[in-house]
Amino acid sequence: MLDLLTSALNPRSVAIIGASDNIHKIGGRPIYYMQRHGYQGAVYPINPTREVIQGHKSYASLAALPEVPDLALVVVGGDKTVAAVEECAARGVKSAVVIASGFGETGPEGLEQQRHMVAKARAAGMRLYGPNTQGLANFGTGAIAGFSTMFIEVPPMDGPIGIVSQSGGMSAMAYGLLRGRGLGVRHVHATGNEADVTVGELALAVAHDPDVRLLLLYLESIANPEMLAAAAAHARARDLPIIAIKAGRSAGGQKAASSHTGSLANEDRTVDAFFRHHGIWRVRDPHEQARAAQAYLKGWRPEGRRLVVISNSGASCVMGADAADDEGLPLAELSPETQRNVAAQLPGFATASNPIDITAALLSDSGLFGKVLPAVAQDPAADLFFLNIPVAGAGYDVQAFARDAAAFEAATGKPVAVAAWQESVAEPFRAQGIATFPNEGEAVGVLAQVAQHTELMRRARVAWPALPDVPLPPGQDGGFLNEVDSLALLAQHGVPTVPLRLVRSAQEAREAFGAIGAPVVVKACSPEVPHKSEHGLVALNVASADEAAALFERFWLKMGDMGVARDGVIVAAMRRGRHEFMIGARQDPVFGPVVVVGDGGKNVEAMKDCAVLLPPFSAHEVAQALRTLRIAPLLDGVRGDPPLDIAALSALAVTIGQVIAGARGSIASLDLNPVLVGAAGEGAIVVDALVERAGA
Amino acid sequence: MLDLLTSALNPRSVAIIGASDNIHKIGGRPIYYMQRHGYQGAVYPINPTREVIQGHKSYASLAALPEVPDLALVVVGGDKTVAAVEECAARGVKSAVVIASGFGETGPEGLEQQRHMVAKARAAGMRLYGPNTQGLANFGTGAIAGFSTMFIEVPPMDGPIGIVSQSGGMSAMAYGLLRGRGLGVRHVHATGNEADVTVGELALAVAHDPDVRLLLLYLESIANPEMLAAAAAHARARDLPIIAIKAGRSAGGQKAASSHTGSLANEDRTVDAFFRHHGIWRVRDPHEQARAAQAYLKGWRPEGRRLVVISNSGASCVMGADAADDEGLPLAELSPETQRNVAAQLPGFATASNPIDITAALLSDSGLFGKVLPAVAQDPAADLFFLNIPVAGAGYDVQAFARDAAAFEAATGKPVAVAAWQESVAEPFRAQGIATFPNEGEAVGVLAQVAQHTELMRRARVAWPALPDVPLPPGQDGGFLNEVDSLALLAQHGVPTVPLRLVRSAQEAREAFGAIGAPVVVKACSPEVPHKSEHGLVALNVASADEAAALFERFWLKMGDMGVARDGVIVAAMRRGRHEFMIGARQDPVFGPVVVVGDGGKNVEAMKDCAVLLPPFSAHEVAQALRTLRIAPLLDGVRGDPPLDIAALSALAVTIGQVIAGARGSIASLDLNPVLVGAAGEGAIVVDALVERAGA
């Protein structure tokens, strides 16, 4: 990382290949920016047609420089781009930033050229940024190897925020929005096509800058999650929050992303799980990044989610309570003592319970805010404070309100957010450093975001030290294990599975029925018929040995007619649970082992009521994830039913996660459906399972 | 309505009871406003301690006035309020606006005083606004019977928007936000405690103002839906869109609303259904009202929802596509010809399919927008246009883009929305009258809102001319019909119900089994045991006459032990459908007959996967509502299953709606669960039903 930090983000010297004297040109702007923003290193314009460029001596070629520069900014286009990169590599340049587009995003030919440049760079130990990028900018050092016009539109100011983005447009937009809020920004880096360096790696480098206290990312595809995970781990270790956009959430968006940078699509629910797992907060756009920034920089790390709403308007109390509900923040239940203390400050017709309606009495007593806040602050039930001021103006001492709010926040350390749409009301609060928003949705949304993000960042992280060894029975790569082998594999790892026998004759079917006892399930067993119920090869509630024998004959013949491998027929105990769940696991091509747990049965695919978890995870995290399902209300038992054995189901999901992670790529997927879950204490049992071998 | 319009919104004369010479006082501000905003009628300050108030002759009392005023604004507080209202009523004032708080919102005593004022007003034919209100303001006439300070903070301008609000704070906020966008506002009315005139009635009056082209409402409770429905009907008839906030969406919000104005809670899903039914668009807050206003005033009434996204940034194409997906807008599939025409305008590396990425080439060719737009306009697949401009500035001819966009919109009549967060980019578009937003979420959100709202407003409305007469069998008010009587009532109205017999002996149970045929369901029948399965009084899959007879004995004894009325035991055919639905209907205390249709089975209450419909509605509307359920993916059949008979289910829901509406209050509720629905063409059949009589 120190490599990247020194050679790219803090280079001792920068060459501009294709330098221009015109500061409005891409080859001219970086030189102008470096002069303007105090870059202390050497700047080497390379342009054989000029003697001097923007006051710097201009050189004819890289070879003509007095030293090998740390960083080369390649501004020339077309074939010259490739030649310049080759020369940089050959001469020992440490980092090359390639601006030109027309590579990987245009098709196979461009991709080939892009790969060629990376190969040359790697062979020489040079790192490559781009191509198709706006470049890098570090306002801490003035090293600006980029050309964004936004640095002219909105003047830079160094500060505690880092931006790392695939898209130059989005990095410029985030920068502009943050600066518009008066916040300083140090790093504004775009990675473009990510032929070599990705957002993840650059984020890891920026996370090592000790002055950065908030890190904002924009991604269109995640090709390299390990690096992003490493960045997140380093950030968490030093309490550095990361807020990420991952665009291409929808099918249409992924298609557009693919034609934009030639990137592969990520499954969006897995992206969500990845971010959650690593304590990264996901938002939709740079506006959401910018609007929350101040709250993070203030160091808000709330202990809980319980919100107190205070307003001078009854309607705004109602809307504040609605917004709390929208955002999953419970209203703090103030103690009777707190309510008495608050009531003592308020006129008779005001409301002292939460939301606290101090009414238009604020107009006649400007000290009300300052009196009510400390009365509430005593209450341990209050984690977060929201002041909703829909109307104020002539006659209101807004300056006093703002001073009181700031004093309260300073004294208690508890987050205070204000909603005020009138600039005349918002401005005094902003001047006191209070986080101020135009409406309750944004204010409460940011409070909720920081509270939930803090929980994610501080979540206890489990380790799975000794993963089981998972030998598969011999068989063809890419195929399925039959149901008996699949269940046996699970049983080896301690997973409760239904008692069964694999039979190969009617007589064996009778014997199995006798041994297992009525009622039984009879089902065909073939690795080539994974979805046997769709072929009529499952019979439930079989009540006699004769019936079991007859079903054997029928299924055996049917499999023969279908021309599939006949491993036998399964006679299994017929079990019922209180609810059918499913547990799935697969090797994601990008994210590796992924576990899915959710509502089971035949409609799993259609209903998609499941949660995604990335290993390693704890049973507690599974139980939490189950609470996000649509069937969550059923977990506690409905209409007099006992609660379900979520502990057993969660433990089972952990085991499955350990199996797929332990298989180290030999298992492509596991599908356990249904998993019958009984009442608490009754356990969970797997009735059907399908294990898919990894491809050749 | 003309009464309200003339006497309250356009009075010939206004008396201010408690007038003040100080324009900062509540009794002084309305006089100041009327002078300032050109009120042409007579203004009569009433204040016995003054000769002249703000240049008007002041009178000692209402009796001393030269005429009876159309409108009296009652500013005095406490006991004087009631006395003033009594005098206004006695003297024939047509409308009284009562500012003071401390009435219905404070408890039983205040409510009693409030009722007393209304009784006096009604007896005299006087209408009452408030109490606890900021009053009325009509900037078309200058009649300002209100004291909001917002009219000083933000100067008024007459225009095509009307605001009617329970809350004075929210009316002021909506007014301020609209004015901040440069939009003119005519009506700003607050109804406060709504002791007499409600938002619905005042909205109906404002909807009669021919100059009003957009109507914004804020409600905390709907006590009087008929009037609101009448306002909506009148508005639809003249193509006047209504955008409403109904606060108190959450439990916490409803509790706050109740302590704010003493209002009753409305069931929020029924509120949603009510707004949809009447073509009113619901939003969360005044910001959402204001941000969509311009789009409505431009007359956008799109023919469809298919969106074209155009940007100069690949990332913004991706995020535009994601936003379209979020908002339920499909991306328009442009014809090959359109794509060729677009491609002909663009550089080689740009994308001519939708989203259209015109890339940074816009920087060198400012005419690109103007060339691409007409190329797309030819395509009938395009309903809505979205230009996403995340970055522009020096070097971009934004003025040209804005002119091209405006020319395009004028030529095609198709909505064009722009997202541009930079003020320097947004301003030229706004100056051309283009609807301009800070980000894609808002821009696409407003396009989606107007498209969907237009569909709601133009929806063909069904009538149910001849409702069935629904005589109930004799029984006690408030009780339940037993299952046999409940199903019989449905069968009378042509609802398919399961074949059954009610038996009162083991021998009759055997005979019923023989007549119906195996398998059967046996269940206890008592109006006092509506949830019989919770008491073990249901047996499925009964396969023999002996079993049926034994179950009769068991259930008969159990009912005896429970001490409940024993109407008999039901022997019914055992039927299976492809999916179990439920249909419910009830008399809502506010909204009247309400029908609910959704996923059935025992977890209905916990899962709440259902849609609410208000009569009258068509089978088509039921089918549309079913598409909003979480189980919607199952309707078309999953994993090779045939689609479900949604037509039969929808027809059944219409019948149930007609039954509850036809019962005219004699039925409190109907609960049909499960309703078994077969494959398309197989129909739907009701297996269990429970009819509740209305209370005494």
User: Which residue from B minimizes the CA distance to A177?
Assistant: B421
**What's the CA gap between A555 and A560, in Å, rounded?**
8
Please tell me the distance in Å from B585's CA to the nearest CA on chain A. Answer: 21
Out of B255, B349, B534, name the one closest to residue A639 (CB): B534
Query: DSSP labels for B449-487?
Result: HHHHHHHHHHPPPP---SPPP-PPPS--TT-BPPHHHHH
pLDDT in tens, A568-597: 999 999 998 899 999 999 999 999 999 999
Q: How many CB atoms lie within 10 A of CB A336?
A: 8
**Cβ distance A354 to B106 under 8 Å?**
no
- Residue position matching structure tokens 């509270």: A451
* B592 part of contact set with chain A, CB < 8 Å: no
- Per-residue pLDDT band at B367 (split at 50, 70, 90): confident
**What's the CA gap between B241 and B5, in Å, rounded?**
20
pLDDT of amino acid B264: 63
pLDDT at B4 over 70: no
**What's the CA gap between B428 and B416, in Å, rounded?**
14
Instruction: Provide the angle, in degrees to the nearest 10, between the axes of the packed helices A368-377 and A398-412.
Output: 20
**Cβ distance A221 to A257 under 8 Å?**
yes
Out of A390, A606, A630, name the one closest to residue B633 (CB): A606
pLDDT in tens, B240-274: 999 999 999 999 888 888 766 556 668 899 999 99
**What's the CA gap between A139 and A161, in Å, rounded?**
10
Adjacency order of strands within the sheet including A185-190: A143-146, A135-138, A185-190, A161-165, A214-219, A242-246, A281-283
**Cβ distance A235 to A216 under 8 Å?**
no
Please tell me the distance in Å from B269's CA to the nearest CA on chain A. Answer: 14
**Which stretches of chain A score pLDDT less than 70?**
1-2, 4-5, 259-264, 349-350, 696
CB atoms B167 and A315 under 8 Å? yes
pLDDT at B2 over 60: no
Interface contacts (A, B; CB < 8 Å) = 250
* B28 part of contact set with chain A, CB < 8 Å: no
**Distance between start and end Cα atoms, chain A:** 36
pLDDT of amino acid B254: 87
- Per-residue pLDDT band at B682 (split at 50, 70, 90): very high
Helix (H, G, I), strand (E, B) or coil at B413: coil
* A133 part of contact set with chain B, CB < 8 Å: no
Helix (H, G, I), strand (E, B) or coil at A523: strand
**A-proximal residues of B, 52-81, CB under 8 Å:** none
Out of A102, A173, A284, name the one closest to residue B391 (CB): A173
**Cβ distance B128 to B195 under 8 Å?**
yes
User: What is the pairing mode between strands B71-74 and B95-98?
Assistant: parallel
Which of chain B's residues have a Cβ under 8 Å away from the Cβ of A259?
Answer: 314, 351, 353, 357
Task: State the average pLDDT over residues B527-542.
Answer: 89
pLDDT of amino acid B533: 84
Beta bridge partners of A462: none
HEC letters along B55-114: CEECECCHHHCCCCCCEEEECCCCHHHHHHHHHHHHHCCCEEEECCCCCHHHCHHHHHHH
pLDDT of amino acid B385: 96
- Residue position matching structure tokens 């006892």: A517
Query: Is the N-terminal amide bond of B131 cis, ω within 30° of 0?
Result: yes
* B391 part of contact set with chain A, CB < 8 Å: yes
Q: How many CB atoms lie within 10 A of CB A364?
A: 9
Query: Is the N-terminal amide bond of A468 cis, ω within 30° of 0?
Result: no
**What's the CA gap between B427 and B448, in Å, rounded?**
23
**Cβ distance A148 to A172 under 8 Å?**
yes
Out of A247, A314, A357, name the one closest to residue B318 (CB): A247
Please tell me the distance in Å from B167's CA to the nearest CA on chain A. Answer: 6
Beta bridge partners of A588: A592
**Cβ distance A158 to A139 under 8 Å?**
yes
CB atoms A607 and B390 under 8 Å? no
**Cβ distance B666 to B476 under 8 Å?**
no
User: Which residue from B minimizes the CA distance to A579?
Assistant: B603
Q: CA-based angle B414:B417:B421, to the nearest 5?
A: 170
Enter the tokens of residue B668.
Answer: 């409190």
pLDDT of amino acid A592: 94
Which of chain A's residues have a Cβ under 8 Å away from the Cβ of B349?
Answer: 101-102, 105-106
CB atoms A176 and B355 under 8 Å? no
ipTM: 0.93
pLDDT of amino acid A465: 78
Does pTM top 0.80 for this prediction?
yes
Helix (H, G, I), strand (E, B) or coil at B386: strand
**B-proximal residues of A, 289-308, CB under 8 Å:** none
pLDDT of amino acid B664: 81
User: Which residue from A minimizes the CA distance to B261?
Assistant: A314
For residue B560, CA distances in Å to A29, A84, B563 come to: 93, 96, 5
* B540 part of contact set with chain A, CB < 8 Å: no
CB atoms A314 and B218 under 8 Å? no
CB atoms B639 and A261 under 8 Å? no
pLDDT of amino acid A533: 84
* B519 part of contact set with chain A, CB < 8 Å: no
Count of residues for chain B? 696
pLDDT of amino acid B587: 94
pLDDT of amino acid A696: 63
pLDDT at B5 over 70: no
**E strand residue ranges, A80-150:** 95-98, 127-129, 135-138, 143-146
Please tell me the distance in Å from B482's CA to the nearest CA on chain A. Answer: 21
pLDDT of amino acid A691: 95
User: Which of B26, B306, B391 should be substituted to probe chain A, the one whose Cβ sees the most A Cβ atoms within 10 Å?
Assistant: B391
User: What is the pairing mode between strands A684-686 and B281-283?
Assistant: unpaired
Out of B260, B441, B638, name the one closest to residue A285 (CB): B441
**Cβ distance B507 to B542 under 8 Å?**
no
User: What is the pairing mode between strands B416-419 and B384-388?
Assistant: parallel
